[in-house]
Structure 1
Amino acid sequence: MTTLLLVRHGLTAMTGPLLAGWTPGLGLDDRGRAQARDLAARLAPVPLAAVVSSPLDRCVQTAEAVVRAHGTPVEKIELDERFGEVHYGDWTGRPLKELAEEPLWKVVQAHPSAARFPGEDGEAMADAQHRAVSAVRDWNARVAAEHGPDATYAVCSHGDIIKAIVADAMGLHLDQFQRIQAAPASLTVIRYTELRPFLVRLNDTGGGVEDLLPPPPGEAGETGGGAGGGDGDAAVGGGA
């Protein structure tokens, strides 16, 4: 039952007022670096089989903070472009207030599965979700093969990409993904089993991590099924 820790990068100078996208050279600002340090300190006790990152600077810097603080050595940060930000094309770098006046804005909000961003390098939201979910499946298989089916790994990515991955895990149509939130430096956790994924936590910006630690030797870990259930079984009655 591979566990995926989805980490959104910390704040940058563009986060909020502008659509950063693939803007080159955009790193964390002072607030973002502090957020990354706090998140890294929270995750330090959790054994990580791998740390994977979007190639964009703000994600790499957040992932580096996680690795530096980690109790279990991580050999290197693996870069995977499939976890990179959506290619917003001609929208990149523009103020969000200005973009909200564009006809495409309403499509992105209400019918994102039909949205394709303008320009030669503009990407469809559906394509962005497909590449990100494909990357998750590939990394689930790789981590399980190399470290066992109960291994945990971290991926540092971007808000829309994390929301798209969560929507897939929850069996939601992409048109519902705007109902999901992933704040800067937040933690979202998904456990993948043979039967189904389980969303363990979403948009967590300050919770403990005790439930993410491996069980002591000789003790069965808590699964989605609770007592008597298989790893892919859902708890009946809410569980303990």
Structure 2
Amino acid sequence: MNSHFLYDPSELLKAIKDFPKGTGILAFRDIPNILNQHVVGKKTLDFGCGAGRSSRILNALGYDVCGVDIASTMINSARLLTSEIQFKVVDRPLNRLLTETYDLIFLSFVLMEMTKAADIVVTLQQLKKQLNPNGRVVVITASNEMYLHEWLSMKPMTKNINSGLPAEILLKDYNTTVTDIVWSESDCFEFFAGSGFSLIEKYYPLGQDRDDRPWLIETEIAPFVIWVLA
């Protein structure tokens, strides 16, 4: 596998100024080791990259990244933050715009922005066509526990949680509330299977003493799931 990537989360903190400081660190802390274990090659598509934080993390890890998003405002923001990464605006159907294939396709918190299960399956099917034969897809999603507990830097604001419906969550570090679409882990598994993917591995990142964070329940319950697909 790849041997030249950064492994120390503190190095990522230095390289990425907006690297998550609170609970969000758990979404990316173990990504270097996960990618090193599962991914061969460096050509990467960061799908739904937003303002490019995940793209910059992947770039810092040594991957050759192309970041894409349907929101032109997000892509413009991403371009202002770095000139080292290629960013593109895409729209559906994706296969008209994505003509290359990749060793890694990365989606961080993209599914929770999508309101229709059918659209998720179609999008994943199209992305599968862009994957190299030995490539991997890595998807970061909310765990089933995310909207049920208060975390170090997140607080759910919606009482009744149901799949496919909106849920509000307060991001304490930014003092702002965002609205996600709730998809359970079983929903996600069905999306992946229905798109033709096989599950290679599933990770539940927990808080650790070495994180140097005053964790609430993160050491016992994982707020996120990291899926590796082929």
TM-score, length-normalised on structure 1? 0.35
Which structure would you say has the larger Rg?
Answer: 1
Indicate the structure whose relative CO is greater, using CA pairs within 8 Å and at least 6 residues apart: 1
Structure with more strand by fraction: 2
TM-score, length-normalised on structure 2? 0.36
